[in-house]
Amino acid sequence: MDIYKINDIAELIRDNSYVGRGIVIGKSEDGKNAVTAYFIMGRSANSRNRVFTVKEGSVYTEPYDASKVVDPSLIIYAAVRQYDNRLIVTNGDQTDTVYDALKDGKTFSEALASRHFEPDAPNFTPRISGMVTFAEKDFSYEMSILKSIDPEGSACARYTFAYPSKVGLGHFIHTYVCDGSPIPTFQGEPERVLIGSDIDAFTSKLWDALDENNKISLYVRFTDVDTGIYTDRLINKNK
C-alpha cells in the first residue's frame, strides 16, 4: 500500500452513489492558487430542494422551492465565509461557530470543541470542516471531522488534521463512505488528491464524477496566493 499516493479525485467518487457532503482543500499544480471546493448531495426531497448562492464572497445553501421545505435546521446554512486572512468551509452551521470564535481570538479546534455530529439518528452525520490560513504569500490549512463514537451516538469523537501547502496536493474529506442504512461514516485521514491548475477542468472533473441522481450543488474557489484575488465557480443541479 502506497501511503503517499496522490489520487485522482474522480476515481475516488465515481460509481459511488452517495459520499454525502465533501470538502477539498489544497494547492494547485502550478503553485499559484489555494484551492477550496465544497459539494452537497442528497437522497430525500428535503435535502435535494437546495441551491448554493454567493453573497458578498460568502456561500450559502438556500431552498430551491421555499414552499417545499420540511426542516431547514440541518440543510440551510453558510457553507463558506472569510474572516481576516482565514477562509472557512463546513457542511453546517458550524461555519458561523468558527467565524465567531476567530473574532474572539480562539482557534479552529477550540471553536469546534463546542460542537458535535448532527442529531439525525441513526446516521449521526459527521460535521466536517476546513479552514485555510493565508500568510506570507502562501497558506496552510486544517480539516476536522466530528463523528459519533458508536452506533448509539453516545459521545463525539473529534479529529483535526493540519497541513502545509504542497504543490499539486490536496486533501478530501466527506461525510460518508457510501450509501447504506444507516449510512456508514467516513473513516481515517482525509484522502490525498491531485489538484490541477485549471479551475474549469477541476470543477468539471469533480461535478461529472458525482452521482447524477444524488448530486445537488458544487462550489470551487481558486485564490491567488500572491494577490489574494480569487476566482470561483458554482454549479446547481436545480437551475
Distance in angstroms (rounded) separating the CA atoms of residues 177 and 195: 21
Task: Indicate if the pLDDT at residue 164 is higher than 80.
Answer: yes
Is residue 191 predicted with pLDDT exceeding 90? Answer: yes
Residue 4 in domain: no
Residue 2 lies inside a defined structural domain of this protein: no
For residue 3, is it within any domain? no
Q: Grid coordinates standing for 69?
A: 421545505
pLDDT band at residue 73 using 50, 70 and 90 as cut-offs: confident
- CATH number where 34 lies: 3.60.20.20
**What's the rounded mean pLDDT across residues 214-222?**
98
Cα dihedral 21, 25, 28, 32, rounded to 10, equals 130
Contacts of residues 72-79 at CB distance under 8 Å and 24 or more positions apart, as own/partner, are: 74/118, 74/120, 74/125, 75/42, 75/46, 75/47, 75/50, 76/50, 79/38, 79/52, 79/219
- Domain assignment of residue 149, given as a range: 9-236
For the chain, how big is the Rg over CA atoms in Å? 17
Which range, of 41-45, 107-111, 166-170, 234-238, averages the lowest pLDDT? 41-45
Q: What is the pLDDT of residue 72?
A: 79
| 47 pLDDT higher than 90 | no
* DSSP 3-state of 25: strand
Confidence at residue 214, expressed as pLDDT on a 0 to 100 scale: 97
Which grid cell sits at 38?
Answer: 465544497
The predicted pLDDT at position 71 comes to: 80
- 178 is a domain residue: yes
Q: How far apart are CA 130 and CA 162, in angstroms?
A: 10
Contacts of 126 (CB under 8 A, 6+ apart): 117, 118, 145, 146, 147, 148, 175, 185, 186
Kindly indicate the confidence band of residue 1, based on its pLDDT and cuts at 50, 70 and 90. Answer: confident
Average pLDDT of the residues in 87-102: 98
Domain presence at residue 199: yes
Q: How many domains does the chain have?
A: 1
The pLDDT score that the predictor gives to residue 67 is 85
pLDDT value of residue 239: 82
- d(Cα 84, Cα 69) in Å, to the nearest integer? 34
Question: What pLDDT band is residue 201 in, cutting at 50, 70 and 90?
Answer: very high
| Average pLDDT over all residues of the chain | 96
The pLDDT of residue 12 is 96
Res 5: pLDDT: 96
Give domain status of residue 1, yes or no.
Answer: no
What lies within 8 Å, CB to CB, of 115 at 6+ separation is: 94, 97, 127, 146
- Predicted local distance difference test score (pLDDT) of residue 76: 87
Name the least confident of 67-81, 94-108, 225-239.
Answer: 67-81
Domain-located, residue 81? yes
